[in-house]
Structure 1
Amino acid sequence: MTYHKEDNMLKCHHCGHVELYPECCPKCGYTKLRRIGYGTERVVKEIKDLFPKAKVARMDSDIGKVSHQAETILRDFRDGKYDILVGTQMIAKGHDFPLLTLSAVVLADIGLALPTYRASERTFELIAQAVGRSGRSAKEGEAVIQTFNPRNYAIVYGAKQDYESFFITEMKERKIAQYPPYTYLILLNFSSKKEEKCDKAAMDFKKDLQAKNFENVTLLGPLVPYFSLENGNYRRSLLLKYKKREVLEEYLRDLLKRFSSVAGVRISINVDPLDY
């Protein structure tokens, strides 16, 4: 749940759940709650405190949901009606701001902790794109990157916009960890209203798969996904790394038929997942 100061609401950006910000802890009744973290609203507040005369606009997923509001903000910033634009990664991609001379990335390394083998790739992409936003016209540009991990190769090469060096390093890392393009991936997703049923189904599925002893197949899990509870359903995952598609995929189709009768558990397969 993410706190939104503008309307004093807690919102889940994944499933869409919304509720009022509580005045006290719903479990213990403690009233001195602290709001921590740095969302776009918090950054805007800090910037306005530092630069009270500057005209500041905000651009994030909430703004983007309002019809034409996003286009209006981007056009006004491009035309110089705003001095500073604060936003999520959506403002770093594909926009040309001729008057922009300074771009900055806050908490540039936060994406490195996301549960995906493409975390470094996405971090590099974001930084390289953000760096490229400033100084696109005759004016000289500058970029500032705030990070707690300044030596990470994704951040170092992203700041330099060094695509070749990043590619070479990233491919070495993926080969060691056996991620695409060196293996195929399949993600098995389990969901149930009851957590114990979800856990049992995932474990039974794992035991059946391990008993086959497939060659060049690595099984990870059951994993607790980044979003472990969604719309009242508990979620678990199994991640498979493998070399040959035909044998394993035929077995999984048969296994799904046998496990489809498990009451109260939904099982789905995601071939070549980008996130897990």
Structure 2
Amino acid sequence: MKRTHLPLNGLRVLDAAARHLSFTRAADELAVTPAAVGQQIRALEDTLGVVLFRRTARGLELTAEGGAGLAALRGGFLQFEDAVLAMQAGQSSKALTIAAPRDLTAKWLLPRLAAIAAADGEMRFAVMTSDEGSGGPVDFTEANLDLAIRWGEGPGNLEGEALESDGFVRVARPGSEAALEIGWPGCPGDDATMPIRVADAGLAIDAAAAGLGRATVPELLASGDIAAGRIEVIGEAGASRVGYWIVAPLPQWRQKKVRALVDALTA
């Protein structure tokens, strides 16, 4: 018999019926009807080609064939329980691996992870730099990731939640009169002929803070530097159809530790 064809439901019913020597009490344990127990036992007998129980004047009796494998069967169920507990142990782990664009990591993610870790000394984070900011993919399988943060119009084919933001803001060093525009890949009006170009929005913020010019950047990235007084907002924030999304495949997304981190980051 192939392992993939093991009648696990029937074997589970056999174990319960053999312990109670009663289909009724086995049904109560398994939260099914006595008739369902009887059907499972008959189907298992047909599959195995043996008689497992006989009804006698004294009640239900286990046959020699039925009792022959019970010790190994119960040992197997205990091993199943150990396997499930081992797999669930990761749910109680507080170690998470996250991938995010370099500028988002430096400007937004790390300060928040620091606050989360300060509130819970058992938290452990591994942070990887991704190229999602330039539209590249994140390989959750190869990198063994729990979560990623990507720049785009939505979560794509993954589960996801948007990071709230006011869109784009135009920033410059406080009191600066520099009028040059600082460009970066993906910025509004991106043009290779812009007088100053940097690799990402985070560097654009730093360039503006240094007085090189004005940069239009995601408000989410600039919020910390605005609060610190390194840069100031010029004009009104502009809406954006793209933004930052926390994403993960469905199996990771369902994990309690992942959901807790998503809730903390989006609070």
TM-score scaled to structure 2, two decimals? 0.18
**Bigger relative contact order (CA 8 A; separation at least 6):** 2
Tell which structure's C-alpha radius of gyration is larger: 2
Determine which structure has the larger helix proportion and give its number: 2
